[in-house]
A and B are shown apart, each in its own frame.
Chain A
Amino acid sequence: MLARKGHIPTLLLFAEALILILTAWYTFFTLDDNLGSYANSFRIATSSVEEDYQYVLHIAPLIVGRAIELRGEGDFEASFNASLLKVAGEVDDISSLRGDFFGKIRNKEYIIKRDGSDYVFVMQKVSVYSGTSGVNAMTRTFGISIRFNEKTIIAEGL
């Protein structure tokens, strides 16, 4: 009788081990095997944000350069700002950027700093974001700084 009672914890141990193993198996077998598509959506979101980030870094100096080229006569800063607004508006009509770079130019959310005979275009907290929504949404925020004079771009950076 006592010997039989002694088996109960051992049998319970065995049963628990079996339950643990079966649970682990169940988890494995019922795991969604569509992991590739999830990875793909992450890859697309990451790639899209990186692409738009690079796009802003590339197009910002091109726009500033064209604005310098097409500016009118008179006060440089005033004519540059007017030209920048026009050029950015034209590019914005075509661009597929998902971000607020063009909006910030439209709303004049940038500063032009004078530095000797040069100027520095500074835009802070520019955002680009992925097209996906919910848990996979990604946003990248960064700053732009472009040094230029009245004729050309001198340097660009973050």
Chain B
Amino acid sequence: MNASLDRPVEANGLGKRFGAVTAIDRLSLHLERGEALGLLGPNGAGKSTALAMLMGLRAPDTGEVRLFGHRPASAAARAMMGVTPQAAGFPEQLTPREVLAYASARRAERVPFDDVVAAFGLAPLIDRRMAGFSGGEVRRVALALAFLGRPGLVFLDEPTAGLDAEAQQAFRAIARDYVVEGGALVLTSHHWDEIEAVCDRITMIDKGRKVMDGTLADIRARMQARRISFALPEGQRPPDWLQAARHGDHWHIESDDSDACLRRMVEEGIGFSGLTIEPLALQDIIARIRPEERP
């Protein structure tokens, strides 16, 4: 079998219009086993539409999607993927145990759910009706359902919206374990640190088009930028060539060659103190790359 046919996600030339609006334009995506892809983009960029086409909730106008070589929404594809219901999507008369047992019964072989219950800390909630659940509790049930039975491919749309910090950490660990063990994960998120912690690759979409695509390692390597931060004595201003910006009592510089920059600062005898040099956060790297890549 052709390797690409066997891929968890293989999407080529996807296009989708709603009336006169082009929601997605010639979008191609692929995902290997043991890989996590972060789908990024501003609100309204087309992330949800793209995800809906990948999962099989929407049919593309052009192009096609294959999940492990199967058509999305086909029985074969559904048997291999895990999805969360949207938040607030549970009948409130049910308990997490009942919903998990139901989802388990829909698989060809009944799967135990002790592992996901433990992983997402559901034990104290397991027999309570979901009517009184907080947003975070509902979200944990939804995540448990996505990973139930360790499907080969998991789709997560804003998985940690409403989760507290502890639950977010737990989620990252579980998601990483899942990917390391060969699972394939597609994730949309607003949390950059979450994308950095979980994903191997990112695809950035804007106005329905792919505007950036690459592994996180590549993106970081392409961008050697560092942020230099320092304080100056009262009343002193940094020279113009530094293009420093004031943040509280510190000055910030984003520099592609922090070594050269620093040498010149020393040569010119600038009286800085409290110096730190850090790699740029992913969010800032992308903000710097994108204007350069625009035609």
Decide whether A and B assemble into one complex. no
